[in-house]
Amino acid sequence: IKICIMLTFKNQKVLISGASSGIGYSTAYLLNSLGVNTVLLGRNKSKLEESMSKLKHPDNASIIVFDFLSDVSIKDELRQSVADSGAFSGFVHSAGIDSAKPYKLLKSQDFDTMNKLNITAPFQVVKDLLHKSVFSPEGGSIVWLGSVMGSLGQKGKIAYTSSKAAVDGFVKSLALELAGKKIRVNSVAPGIVETPLTDELFSKTTEENIKAIEAMHPLGLGKPEDVANLIGFLLSDQSKWVTGTTHFIDGGYHIQ
């Protein structure tokens, strides 16, 4: 028996942070190709416009310029987007930065930056997004990017891994609070994925360290589209009974 499952989306409109490159862009491209109204969110307008132009259906996409590390509200931009093309039904938080410092060099500011980017700032975006005039009354889906390192830890990444570990608790509690509104909340926890951020990291380390990192992934390093496919599923109608979960997608990193 052969069963082919096609991802389906009912009148979906999804906001994607970090959409100018890496996992965020791959997710935007996938959703846009499947007919989802795609809103690309990022801090660099020119990069967002370039990314949007590469989508399969750029006429069914738009951009919002926003920096998660600023103190600017996104409320007005979200309401304008609703006026232009309808209510939202999904949010993917994929924006991120990397940080590698041994604990002796860590400062409280390092924790503040990571927590703001990975938890507090996107939390405020979710609050603004879930306003009754902004989000679909029929419900929807929210997907947060965590990390396998949030569960396993990693040398030199205390600030990064602690903020990613917080994502798991955040997702579980928010899922319980939003279940009554038919809004699902999940996270994905990737291993090392070949993105511009990873390229920058590898450029600052030795070949020996790169080989050691690759060896941690039995199936090799991931591609942005690998993670995007899982995010697409969690946004689709096919995952209507999935909420409050963290999904590892790491080439076997966490089972060693």
Residues recognised as catalytic = 160
- For tokens 């602690």, what's the residue? 162
Q: Are 28 and 51 in contact (CB under 8 A)?
A: yes
Q: In the Cβ-directed half-sphere of 4, how many Cα atoms lie within 13 Å?
A: 1
Q: Residues 185, 27, 94, 160: what is their CA dihedral angle, to the nearest 10 degrees?
A: 100
The residues facing 91 across adjacent strands are: 15, 142
Cβ atoms within 10 Å, residue 151: 17
> Is residue 185 a contact partner of residue 126, using CB atoms and an 8 Å limit?
no
End-to-end alpha carbon distance in the chain: 34
Residues 6+ apart with CB under 8 A from 142: 90, 91, 92, 93, 126, 174, 178, 183, 184, 185, 186
Q: Do 99 and 160 touch, CB atoms closer than 8 A?
A: yes
Tokens of 145: 């990017």
Q: Which residues 6+ apart lie within 8 Å of 136 measured at CB?
A: 11, 13, 87, 88, 89
For residue 86, how many other CB atoms are within 10 A of its CB?
13
